[in-house]
Structure 1
Amino acid sequence: MMKKNVCMFVWNHFTNDARVLRECTTLSEKGYKVDLICIHDPNDPDMKYVEKRNDNFNVYRVRRYPIMFTVLQFCIKNKLVGSVALVLWLFLAYLFPFIIIPLTLLGGIIIKTRLKTVVVRGCIIIRMILKGRMKNYDIYHSNDLNTLPQGYICAKWRLRRKPLIYDSHEVQTSRTGYDSSIYAKMEKFFIRKMDSMIVENHTRAKYNEVLYGFYPNVVHNYPFIQKEVFNHKIDLHEILHLPENEKILLYQGGIQAGRGLDKLIKAVPMFKEGTLVLIGDGRIKPDLEKMVKDMNLEEKVKFLPKVPLEELPQYTKNAYLGFQVLNNINYNHYSASSNKLFEYMMAGIPVVACNFPEIRRVVEGEETGICIDSHKPQEIADAVNKLLENQALRTRYSENSRKASKLFNWEKEKELFVNVYAKVS
Structure 2
Amino acid sequence: MQRKKIITSAFSNLCTDQRIEKVCRTLYENGYEVELIGNDWNGAEKMSRPYSFSRIKLISTSLKTAYFEFNWKLYHELKKKADKNTILHANDLDALLPNYVLAKKLNIPLIFDSHEIFSEMPAIQGKMSQKLWRYLEKNLVPKIKFMITASSGYANWFKNKYGIDPVVVQNAPRKLNFEQEIPENNPKILLYQGAINPFRGIDKAILAMHHLNNVIFKIAGDGPKKKEYEELVIKENLQEKVQFLGKLLPEDLRKITPTVDCGMSIEENGGESYFYSLPNKVLDCIQARVPVILSNLPEMQNIKRQFDIGEIIKNHEPENIALAIQTILNRGRENYQPELEKAANILCWENEEVKLLQVFERASNFAVSFKQ
- DSSP 3-state at the match of 1:167: strand
Structure 1, residues 341-392: CA drift from partner, whole Å, max 9, x if none? 011011110111101111111124210100113422111111111222233x
Unpaired stretches in structure 2, ≥5 consecutive residues: 365-372
Distance 1:167 1:232, change over 3 A: farther
Q: Which residue of 2 aligns with 1:186?
A: 136
Distance 1:265 1:27, change over 3 A: same
* 1:327 and 1:374 in contact (8 A); partners too: no
- 1:195 Cα offset (Å): 2.5
User: Could you tell me which amino acid in structure 2 is paired with residue 423 of structure 1?
Assistant: R
How does the TM-score come out when normalised to structure 2? 0.91
Q: Which residue of 2 aligns with 1:417?
A: 356
Counterpart-to-counterpart distance in 1, 2:150 and 2:304 = 17
Counterpart-to-counterpart distance in 2, 1:130 and 1:301 = 47
- DSSP 3-state at the match of 2:69: helix
- 1:118 Cα offset (Å): 4.6
Q: Which residue of 2 aligns with 1:177?
A: 123
Q: Which residue of 1 aligns with 2:291?
A: 350
Counterpart-to-counterpart distance in 1, 2:181 and 2:72 = 44
- Bigger Cα displacement from structure 2, 304-313 vs 286-295: 304-313
Match of 1:53 among 27, 45, 49: 49
- DSSP 3-state at the match of 1:37: strand
Whether 2:205 is the aligned partner of 1:257: answer no
Distance 1:39 1:209, change over 3 A: same
Distance 1:118 1:279, change over 3 A: closer
Match of 2:165 among 186, 195, 215: 215
* 1:260 and 1:374 in contact (8 A); partners too: no
Q: Which residue of 2 aligns with 1:75?
A: none
Structure 1, residues 235-270: CA drift from partner, whole Å, max 9, x if none? 9xxxxxxx9622111111110001111111111110
User: Could you tell me which amino acid in structure 2 is paired with residue 223 of structure 1?
Assistant: P
Aligned residues with identical type, % of pairs: 29
Whether 2:146 is the aligned partner of 1:196: answer yes
Q: Which residue of 2 aligns with 1:63?
A: 57
User: Could you tell me which amino acid in structure 2 is paired with residue 349 of structure 1?
Assistant: V
The alignment yields a C-alpha RMSD, in angstroms, of: 2.1
Matches for 1:17-416 after TM superposition, within 5 Å = 17-41=17-41, 43-44=43-44, 47=45, 53-54=49-50, 57-65=51-59, 117-137=63-83, 138-157=86-105, 160-179=106-125, 180-227=130-177, 230-231=179-180, 245-391=186-332, 394-416=333-355
- 1:141 Cα offset (Å): 0.7
How does the TM-score come out when normalised to structure 1? 0.80
- 1:52 Cα offset (Å): 5.7
Counterpart-to-counterpart distance in 2, 1:299 and 1:319 = 17
Counterpart-to-counterpart distance in 1, 2:75 and 2:220 = 34
User: Could you tell me which amino acid in structure 2 is paired with residue 289 of structure 1?
Assistant: E
- 1:42 Cα offset (Å): 7.0
User: Could you tell me which amino acid in structure 2 is paired with residue 186 of structure 1?
Assistant: L
Unpaired stretches in structure 1, ≥5 consecutive residues: 67-110, 236-242
Q: Which residue of 1 aligns with 2:369?
A: none
- Tell me the number of residue pairs that the alignment of Structure 1 and Structure 2 aligns: 358
Counterpart-to-counterpart distance in 2, 1:244 and 1:272 = 13
Q: Which has the higher contact order (CA 8 A, sep 6+)?
A: 2
Counterpart-to-counterpart distance in 2, 1:9 and 1:64 = 15
Distance 1:313 1:258, change over 3 A: same
* 2:172 and 2:352 in contact (8 A); partners too: yes
Distance 1:61 1:310, change over 3 A: same
User: Could you tell me which amino acid in structure 2 is paired with residue 141 of structure 1?
Assistant: H
Counterpart-to-counterpart distance in 2, 1:195 and 1:405 = 32
Counterpart-to-counterpart distance in 2, 1:206 and 1:300 = 40
- DSSP 3-state at the match of 1:53: coil
Q: Which residue of 1 aligns with 2:2?
A: 2
Structure 1, residues 223-245: CA drift from partner, whole Å, max 9, x if none? 11133x64599x9xxxxxxx962
- 1:43 Cα offset (Å): 4.5
* 1:348 and 1:399 in contact (8 A); partners too: no
- DSSP 3-state at the match of 1:133: helix
Counterpart-to-counterpart distance in 1, 2:330 and 2:335 = 14
Q: Which residue of 2 aligns with 1:239?
A: none
- 1:164 Cα offset (Å): 0.9
User: Could you tell me which amino acid in structure 1 is paired with residue 266 of structure 2?
Assistant: V
Distance 1:383 1:129, change over 3 A: same
Counterpart-to-counterpart distance in 2, 1:119 and 1:351 = 38
- 1:193 Cα offset (Å): 3.5
- DSSP 3-state at the match of 1:225: coil
User: Could you tell me which amino acid in structure 1 is paired with residue 269 of structure 2?
Assistant: N
Counterpart-to-counterpart distance in 2, 1:119 and 1:395 = 50
Counterpart-to-counterpart distance in 2, 1:379 and 1:410 = 33
User: Could you tell me which amino acid in structure 1 is paired with residue 205 of structure 2?
Assistant: L
